[in-house]
Structure 1
Amino acid sequence: MSIFHLITILVVVAAVFDYFNTRFFKIPATIGLFMVGMVFSLAILVVGKFYPDILAYDRDLLGQIDFSEVLLEGILSFLLFAGAINLDPEELREQKWPILISAFGATLVSATLVGGLTYFALDLLGSPIPLLHALIFGALISPTDPVATLGILEHTNLPESLKVKIAGESLFNDGLGYVVFLILTNIAMPSGGHGDVTVGSVALLFVQEVFGALILGYLLGKLVSYMLATIDSYQTEVLITLAMVIGGYTLANSLHISGPLTVVVGGIMLVRGVQQRGGVSDITQDYLVKFWELVDELLNAVLFLLVGLFIVQVEFTTAIVITGVLAILIVVLSRFLSLTLLVESLKHRFHFEANAAVIMTWGGLRGGISIALALSLAPEISKDLILGITYIVVFFSIVVQGLTLQGLVKRLQSRATDEVSE
């Protein structure tokens, strides 16, 4: 079976599921598609116990797909841009400091906590790994996945300001997490062609990746918003935004700056620039929104089916399962502690909604990006262990947190209302 045939099957399965889900189930498509992929993979694993050739064929087929490259170098740029242009620039501007501080400060604190606690937990369980490897796990699992998070937020009745905080943080901390991951893997595998690793080189890499992305994204957004305001042809304008995403992401990678951050900033600046300049017709706005909604829906479907299918690539041992369950507690607790610290230290300067730390903790999902980063690890960096733990955390995050977020929000809002009435 060729890659084209596999993609065809994925799109057909996604379309059939979306039909039945829209008509009958009405669950978030992100969760549903992930579960479809998981069920299919688990069925293959069970059948593979009796017919090993089927399991071997499936693994060989998926082995032809470099999931990390497909996601990180392919569809991620489109999904991040689609998420960025759906954010309200004015609401985002009002919430910019809580978003940036949580995306950078809280994520770094959480990654450090996750890495440290995982290191000690594995040592107690008799499966020790180097501290640096544990910190790499913290870096890839702590940032929330914007694709999964945005897909779930659409189905909640959260206040708009809190939605923007969660969505904005997710879009920005993804880029930061990727940069920290690259730095730590660079330190762990200095023979990978990056030369000697020093404090100065790490600081330079961080500044280059992050601030370079902010500057490039800003310039791209300004340029493209100017171009859209000076013409009136929706076909050309849609094409220009498509070129901006592909070209901007590719240019960022060639300049060794963060591609994810570049397209996020570019998307935000594009929308803001269009609103300030005006000149974009209603028909163009309509086509732009519908085009990027369709791209988002299609690529989301393919991504989460692939995430579910790739479970056959993971070897789950008893030690990995036990560690993975413990890692769920560590990841959730670390995020809650880092966000609580953020809210408590900033609540006198910025507005935070009631139970913001709890909702942001439970609403910050992990997804395909964490798995892609884990799959990209070299075998020497405890890859098998980290990949298995990551899959377990992602499964819990998407299925359990995703399905219970709306109920949690309702209960907290009801409790807050009762307290006010008393």
Structure 2
Amino acid sequence: MEMMILLIVLGMGTVLVVGVGDRLRLPWPALMVFLGAAVALIPGLEVIEIDPDLILPLFLPPLLFATAQRTSWTMFRSRWRTILFLAVGLVGATVAVVTATALWLIPGITLSAAIALGAMVAPPDPVAVEAVSGSVSLPRRILQVLQSEGLFNDAAALVVFQFAVAATMEGSRVDFGQLLLSFVVSAVLAVVVGLVLSLGLRVLLRFTQNSVARSMAHLVLPFAVYLVAEHVNASGVIAVVVAALEMRQHDDAEQVEERLMQNATWEVLEMLITGVAFGLIGLELRITLMGTDANIVQAIVGGLVISAVMLVTRFAWLFAGTYLIDPRAQRGRSFADYLKGTVVMTWGGMRGLATLALALSLPYTTDDGSPFPARTSILMVVVAVLATTLLAAGLTFPALVNRLGLTGAKEHAQEARIAARARRASLSALKHAPDVPEEVREELRKRMHQLEGRLAGEDEEGQRTGAIKQLQQYRGAFRQMQALSLKAARAEVLRARSERGVDPAAADQVLHRLDLQTALLDQPTGMLPLVRERPENWPQPGAAGGGAGAAREQD
């Protein structure tokens, strides 16, 4: 019962904190950490122990799935160097420097335990980055790098962590050759699991056209993929990302109602899970601090030193490596812009859910019954790292981006280009529509360009009434032609989404507006009166038809 009450409090608290964050222009996930810590101070509230084995399976799959759906296979193919460089290379570099620093700072820690600590704090949290960046107009180029890194680095960190903990439990050394082999095998198996289960779901969905049932299947998929992957010793993180990318790759232009329903459902679910997860982070941080008997000041100072070392390492790695792995992307950019981007990506490497879950999963004792080396000090270091990279960085991230003058103006230009492609496809579909009277075609071309202003009250009442009367004559033709042109526009946007150099998020924005326009067209009553007559030579329902310029307002 206490857990149920806690979840309700955190869920309702999310509603309040989102409003506060909007008013104060602060990232609400960071504020949720403070709320969680405050909840832990409520008198009479029992200390609720959360099973660490449930944290990642409950929170990580849906949040990873939602984030990955905003990307594409094409983007990952074009950024494979960046992914390897950051998700694997930077994780390894961070583990190395944290291990060395921990051996120097933390009394009684062993090499394998220090490696485990490095693996805990190495991976930035894609959920934190996505949530915090929503409060600022961050350039998509930078956000895509942070997302690409965050979607895969958990996999590398988890493998390192598991090997390090196993070596600590057994009192043996970490076999780095076996570790590398295990990571490769785990990644390959994860790709297979993600592809197979996503294919299986697509086959299953052929048996139903019910939008609610199909949307429910998409909600269940990330949990199923994660659990199956973990069961076969594959990376659940990579498997979920692959499944999400594969499902979006096979998106159908006709599934308008389903897509709108899923978008709304995922937005609500993301906010709820993110709020509860970050609230639990604050709760666990407070409980950890209250329940330790270690020298808190000494441990936190050590954690702050490790946090500083991590930031320096991340900045140096990004500054030296970003140009090397993708020199073409840096052409035409000034050194100042390059430096600003590196600073933002360094400060945007926020730790979160995975770091907390791994820290809480540390065993209390080893196989021989002795205490896990420096366990309490490790937890204190994790608290300091989360406070530095999540709270301090999260709360100051919007101010930093604004101070550096980084904006997402170019992304709006890309949306306009995609919308222009959609309009051209729409007009092309109208041009080649069969059996359309030329006078209908010409009248609709003219009226589609004038309709918005006339019906919005920009013209005189008499002109508006005259426009409606003229359009009534061809109402049936107009609706069918508009349906055809909207379908062509949606298909063009989906094609553009899979092309190299196109931002999937920009394409999704245009597609969403087209879906809304289609849903409005499908309503029994709309902004134009219905008519009973259909022109004699107009094709029957189900044949090709549509309306000109349907995507005009998207441009």
**Normalising by the residue count of structure 1, what TM-score does the alignment of the two structures yield?**
0.84
| Deviation digits for residues 131-181 of structure 1 (CA, Å, limit 9, x no counterpart) | 222221111101101221111122232221221111111111122211211
Please report how far the alpha carbon of residue 230 of structure 1 lies from its aligned counterpart in structure 2 after TM superposition: 7.6
- SS of residue matched to 2:234: coil
Aligned counterpart for 2:233 among listed residues 256, 263, 280: 256
Asked if 1:393 is matched to 2:385, the reply is yes
- SS of residue matched to 2:327: coil
Matches within 5 A, 1:13-412: 13-22=13-22, 24-41=23-40, 43=41, 54=43, 58=45, 60-63=46-49, 65-66=50-51, 68-122=52-106, 127-190=107-170, 198=175, 201-225=178-202, 232-274=209-251, 278-310=252-284, 311-314=286-289, 315=292, 317-348=296-327, 351=330, 354-355=338-339, 356-379=341-364, 380-412=372-404
- Structure 2 CA distance for partners of 1:226 and 1:280, relative to 1, 3 Å: farther
Q: What residue ranges of structure 2 are gaps of 5+ in the alignment?
A: 365-371, 408-555
- Structure 2 CA distance for partners of 1:3 and 1:369, relative to 1, 3 Å: same
- Structure 2 CA distance for partners of 1:84 and 1:229, relative to 1, 3 Å: farther
Contact kept? 1:214, 1:265, Cα under 8 Å: yes
**Normalising by the residue count of structure 2, what TM-score does the alignment of the two structures yield?**
0.65
Question: In structure 1, how many angstroms separate the alpha carbons of the residues matched to 2:183 and 2:72?
Answer: 28
Please report how far the alpha carbon of residue 359 of structure 1 lies from its aligned counterpart in structure 2 after TM superposition: 1.8
- Stretch deviating more after TM superposition (85-94 or 384-393): 85-94
The code of the aligned residue for 1:11 comes to G
Please say which structure displays the higher CA radius of gyration: 2
- Structure 2 CA distance for partners of 1:176 and 1:155, relative to 1, 3 Å: same
- Structure 2 CA distance for partners of 1:217 and 1:321, relative to 1, 3 Å: same
Contact kept? 2:151, 2:241, Cα under 8 Å: yes
- Structure 2 CA distance for partners of 1:93 and 1:223, relative to 1, 3 Å: farther
- Stretch deviating more after TM superposition (162-171 or 400-409): 400-409
Q: What residue ranges of structure 1 are gaps of 5+ in the alignment?
A: 45-53, 416-422
- Structure 2 CA distance for partners of 1:397 and 1:230, relative to 1, 3 Å: same
Aligned residues: 390
Please report how far the alpha carbon of residue 214 of structure 1 lies from its aligned counterpart in structure 2 after TM superposition: 2.0
Question: In structure 2, how many angstroms separate the alpha carbons of the residues matched to 1:152 and 1:226?
Answer: 37
Question: In structure 2, how many angstroms separate the alpha carbons of the residues matched to 1:219 and 1:120?
Answer: 46
Please report how far the alpha carbon of residue 413 of structure 1 lies from its aligned counterpart in structure 2 after TM superposition: 3.7
Please report how far the alpha carbon of residue 265 of structure 1 lies from its aligned counterpart in structure 2 after TM superposition: 1.6
Contact kept? 2:112, 2:173, Cα under 8 Å: no
- SS of residue matched to 1:366: coil
Contact kept? 1:225, 1:271, Cα under 8 Å: no
The corresponding residue for 2:3 is 3
Contact kept? 2:20, 2:28, Cα under 8 Å: no
Question: In structure 2, how many angstroms separate the alpha carbons of the residues matched to 1:240 and 1:400?
Answer: 38
Contact kept? 2:307, 2:388, Cα under 8 Å: yes
- Structure 2 CA distance for partners of 1:284 and 1:330, relative to 1, 3 Å: same
Percent identical: 25
Question: In structure 2, how many angstroms separate the alpha carbons of the residues matched to 1:233 and 1:280?
Answer: 13
Larger RCO (CA under 8 A, 6+ residues apart): 1
- Give RMSD over aligned pairs: 2.7
- Structure 2 CA distance for partners of 1:229 and 1:373, relative to 1, 3 Å: same
Question: In structure 1, how many angstroms separate the alpha carbons of the residues matched to 2:211 and 2:344?
Answer: 39
Question: In structure 2, how many angstroms separate the alpha carbons of the residues matched to 1:200 and 1:364?
Answer: 28
Which of the two has greater helix per residue?
Answer: 1
Please report how far the alpha carbon of residue 20 of structure 1 lies from its aligned counterpart in structure 2 after TM superposition: 4.3
Contact kept? 1:229, 1:279, Cα under 8 Å: no
- Stretch deviating more after TM superposition (395-404 or 3-12): 3-12
Question: In structure 2, how many angstroms separate the alpha carbons of the residues matched to 1:169 and 1:199?
Answer: 22
The code of the aligned residue for 1:325 comes to L
The corresponding residue for 1:418 is none
Question: In structure 2, how many angstroms separate the alpha carbons of the residues matched to 1:120 and 1:394?
Answer: 21
Contact kept? 1:80, 1:260, Cα under 8 Å: yes
Please report how far the alpha carbon of residue 233 of structure 1 lies from its aligned counterpart in structure 2 after TM superposition: 2.5
Question: In structure 2, how many angstroms separate the alpha carbons of the residues matched to 1:184 and 1:109?
Answer: 16
Please report how far the alpha carbon of residue 232 of structure 1 lies from its aligned counterpart in structure 2 after TM superposition: 3.3
Question: In structure 2, how many angstroms separate the alpha carbons of the residues matched to 1:288 and 1:414?
Answer: 31
